[in-house]
Amino acid sequence: MSSNHRKGKIFLLVLSIFIFDQITKFLALKFLAPDRVIKILPFFNLVYIENTGTAFGMFKFLGSGFFIGISFIAICFLLYMTFKDKKNWFIYALIIAGAIGNVTDRIIYGYVIDFIDIHVGGFHWPAFNIADSAISIGIVLFIYQSFKK
């Protein structure tokens, strides 16, 4: 695959995930009320959460400015890795798209909008969003690729 073709695929993947993430967060902001749960399936709800922390709401005390700075550093590093490690461009693009989606929320709102609630009985996984999903899938694929070598 030529360099320009790969760059185009990276751009389209990142842009597609970013747009889907932002549309779903806009819909969550518009139609989901805090403290309201919409049951979709026995294990899947829609909720509205303003996450000022990082994964699982941890480290809230560090503030949005800290997370915005770390996100920009991570995005720059991942962009570098995308073009250095050409065979894993898809993995890096997933993580970049998720990071851009969540940092956009932090810049606009001061928090990340989470709305997906997966649960089994009374155990609820912390609410998440499309950007979080892209980051998580990218990390799992990265770990898999690392062990595969």
Active site residues: 114, 132
CA pair distance 148, 132, nearest whole angstrom: 24
Distance CA 100, CA 51 (A): 16
Distance CA 68, CA 74 (A): 10
Helix (H, G, I), strand (E, B) or coil at 34: coil
DSSP secondary structure letters along 94-128 = HHHHHHHHHHHHHHHHSSEEEEEEEEETTEEPPPB
